Amino acid sequence: MTATEHALELTQAAAQAAADKLGTEIVAFDVSEQLAITDVFLVITATNERQVGSVVDGVEEALRELGAKPVRREGDREQRWVLLDYLDLVVHVQHAEERRFYALERLWQDTPPIRLDLDIRR
């Protein structure tokens, strides 16, 4: 099984929204073979707490335009690691320190990466 077209569409839109808000190190993994609860993990780095909030807001706005609302949102009080669960897609927006410490890429390195076509305007 691979990620659904819907999951891939949400992933691309969320990744572009994150890039537009200056999120960095944006990577996506197809976890559909390993997890029954979601198809894709999208991981994004932000340099500080304020930017974490900005990236999260951008992702939510972009996906809302596609008719998607998160069923769960965690971590927004501290703004160090915010998780947005869209069922088919789980978005992790991490402060740079949390990203280095938890190294989610290492945990999911055996899953297929998803190519993201991002328009980086910096």
- Superfamily of the domain at 5-107: Beta Polymerase, domain 2 (3.30.460.10)
Which residues fall within 8 angstroms of residue 27, CB to CB, at 6 or more apart?
A: 42, 43, 105, 113, 116
Q: How confident is the model at residue 122 (pLDDT cuts 50, 70, 90)?
A: low
Tens-digit pLDDT profile for residues 6-54: 999 999 999 999 999 999 999 999 999 898 889 999 999 999 999 999 9
The tokens describing 93, both together, are 């927006």
